Chains A and B, each alone.
Chain A
């Protein structure tokens, strides 16, 4: 049992890295796609809608296969390591769901906030970055936490594009040792533990962002 644990932890470390970088990409693409979706410029809006619908409407596994097996072939000739594919695939996939969450969050910011910015003569880009986005991010945290945990759990698919993540290691060890119950119980605990870290981290972030803030008051 003690020899199993380090190997599982190695897999878990891959899972952690893919989750971390994938989450960052997901958050950035969610904000950009939400902005595109809300843009008054038609082509930007269509681009955002196309991205969201394609990545939300097709299987993540097939997306990963496309990125890993199809893109290196002509006419694309784009070759990425399995690790990069995992981050790009998961990030863009969850980002597409996140875009709709962000869109709702941005629209939930009170109209009076926009009016105050106009009255203070703020440029629209400053208005978004300094006033609207911080409030929208706060509103997006609870549904966003769900998506990040979803991303963590979806990392188990990356074993199918040759990455040795936690799920891959668990299966490998199971085949070598036949300690099926122990290994998969451990894997379960490790996933649960990582999900709780995300959960706790997001709660702390929410607490920090909402410092001195009342929700649903006059704004």
Chain B
């Protein structure tokens, strides 16, 4: 495996007595597409949220591009908890799309996409706008630049959110159950955008999903999460076609039954 772009080493996260991530180890190669599946409460979303620094971790180290995200080296070489500015520096390599879109309601689609490039990367309005128009066209919303989030359907809002995250040129994209809040008929348009991203860009993607069909077709690797760590992982064919662990089999058959 080449040098991983994301590396979790013995990462533990607790809420009081509840251990959500339990000595988790995970390496993700550049360009790899990893789907994370598992029962709710198994720590899937927490993994993405910890990587986005939305949750602090209690033990272990997360590295992005070989640089520790949650820690930084002190003068004597030991790792100490990262300062806000160190986190901002490393965090710039990661983008995230949320289940509930989280678009800025007081800005139109175009403003949503140019806001961070201008305010964070210091890009000029003209350049930011041109890029945003390209990105919004790529997600199929070239005609909706001036629409506010409330004037867009859920699927359209989620596609704006994808364009907004891409505008920051992340190396790693995190998708946290991005179709869970959508009507079934709107899921397809969002998944199609993710498909295109996967085939046209060399982005590393981590996605938490309940869409088993999509995970099977799209991912290079599928990780089954259970009780805060990766219970079983493999290629989609291995994991869906021939799961080894009892818990994995039970989960997959329950999901199949529901479908």
Contacts and interface: CB of A to CB of B under 8 A. Distances in A.
Contacts, number: 80
Contact of B115 (A120, A135, A138, A219): A120
Contacts of A122: 116, 119-120
A114 to B, nearest CB: 9
Interface string B104-137: 1110100000011001100000000000000000
Nearest to B89: A121
Contacts of B119: 122-123, 126, 130
Contacts of B91: 118, 121
Contacts of A75: none
B165 A112 contact: no
Given A120-B95, A135-B105, A218-B100, 11 more contacts: A112-B102, A113-B102, A116-B104, A119-B96, A130-B115, A131-B115, A212-B148, A212-B151, A213-B106, A213-B148, A218-B154
Contacts of B116: 120-122
Interface of B: 52-54, 88, 91-92, 94-96, 98, 100-106, 108, 115-116, 119-120, 147-148, 150-151, 154, 157, 164-165, 168, 181
5 contacts: A112-B100, A122-B119, A212-B150, A213-B106, A213-B150
B181 to A, nearest CB: 6
Interface of A: 110, 112-113, 115-116, 118-123, 126, 130-131, 134-135, 138, 209, 211-214, 217-219
A138 B106 contact: yes
Contacts of A120: 95, 115-116, 120, 164-165, 168
A120 B164 CA distance: 8
A100 B84 CA distance: 29
A95 B110 CA distance: 35
B95 to A, nearest CB: 7
Enumerate the 3 nearest inter-chain pairs by beta-carbon distance, A residue then B residue, closest first. Answer: A212-B148, A214-B150, A120-B116
Contact of A115 (B98, B108, B168): B98
Nearest to B112: A116
Contacts of B115: 120, 130-131
A8 B16 CA distance: 67
B105 A119 contact: no
B187 to A, nearest CB: 15
A71 B52 CA distance: 53
A219 B105 contact: yes
Contacts of A213: 105-106, 148, 150
Given A213-B106, A214-B105, A218-B181, A116 B98 contact: yes
Contacts of B94: 119
B88 A121 contact: yes
B108 A212 contact: yes
Contacts of A214: 105, 150
Contacts of A115: 52, 54, 98, 102
Contacts of B102: 110, 112-113, 115-116, 219
Contacts of B53: 118
Contacts of A113: 102, 104
B94, B103, B147: which has the most chain A beta carbons within 10 Å? B103
Contact of A126 (B95, B104, B120): B120
